[in-house]
Amino acid sequence: MALKSAWEISQEKAAAIDGRKEDEIVLTDGQKIKISEVRKEYEAKIAEREVMLRQRLRMATPEEGRLLQEEFQREKKALTGEMENKIEKIRKGG
Domain-by-domain residue ranges, the chain? 28-91
**pLDDT for residue 11:** 74
Contact 13, 22 (CB under 8 A): no
The predicted structure's pLDDT at residue 1: 54
Question: Does pTM surpass 0.85?
Answer: no
Cα–Cα distance measured from residue 48 to residue 44, given in angstroms and rounded to the nearest whole number: 6
Residue 88 CB contacts under 8 Å (≥ 6 apart), including other chains: none
Cα 41 to its chain centre, rounded Å, is 10
pLDDT in tens, 36-75: 999 999 999 999 999 999 999 999 999 999 999 999 999 9
Q: What integer pLDDT is reported at residue 46 of this predicted model?
A: 97
Q: What percent of the chain has a predicted confidence (pLDDT) above 90? A: 68
Question: What does the alpha-carbon distance between residue 58 and residue 70 come to, in Å, rounded to a whole number?
Answer: 16
